Amino acid sequence: MTKLSMTVNGKAVSGEIEGRTLLVDFLRQNLGLTGTHVGCDTSQCGCCVVHVDGRSVKSCTMLAAQAEGAEVTTVEGLAQADGTLHPIQAAFREHHGLQCGFCTPGMLMSAADLLQQNPSPTEHEVRDWLEGNMCRCTGYHNIVKAILAAAETMKGGMPQAAE
């Protein structure tokens, strides 16, 4: 067991882990942050996407030990402390961007990374970016609509994800 420290959603956290602990297991089991989902465990489905030092990664395909000292943001860190939804979350609600909700945390985190890098994506760019996020309800149409709507809202200077 080794000791591990990192910042998750702005808070310093630490824990004792085995070398083989995946980042997603550390987040879910050690920290109780179960918003990040595990779908395929082999980096195909994108349900486990979080941000590590500002970039989207699949947390099932990264060892927790590799995030030592990193700044991690999970879906729990998207909304503001008072519960005000992030514009991407608000747009998913408004445009019915989720059905069963299983893929939603990963969709939100991937979308947040996209809009940080490209604040005005085309529909094609959104679809291209989401190639690593699967929705088993096949609700892509409204997910894409929601992300494009969020991009419009955020042009007005709405807050970005807390990194």
Which CB atom, from 57 or from 154, has the smaller least distance to other proteins?
A: 57
Q: How far is the CB of 114 from other proteins (least distance, A)?
A: 8
Does 65 contact other proteins by CB under 8 A? yes
Of residues 7, 30, 34, 61, which one binds other proteins by CB under 8 A? 61
Is residue 140 a contact point for other proteins (CB under 8 A)? Answer: no
- Phi and psi (nearest 5°) for 10? 85, -5
CA distance linking residue 110 with residue 116, whole number of Å: 10
**How far does Cα 35 stand from its chain's mean position?**
9
Q: Phi and psi for 100 in degrees, rounded to 5? A: -80, -25
Q: Kindly state whether residue 144 participates in binding other proteins, applying the rule CB under 8 A.
A: no
Please tell me the distance from the alpha carbon of residue 152 to that of residue 157, in angstroms, as a whole number. 10
Angle between helices 87-94 and 104-117 (to 10 degrees): 130
Q: Considering the rule CB under 8 A, would residue 111 count as an interface residue with other proteins? A: no
Binding positions for other proteins, rule: CB under 8 A = 2, 18-22, 25, 41-43, 46, 49, 55-58, 60-63, 65-66, 68, 110, 113-114, 128-129, 131-133
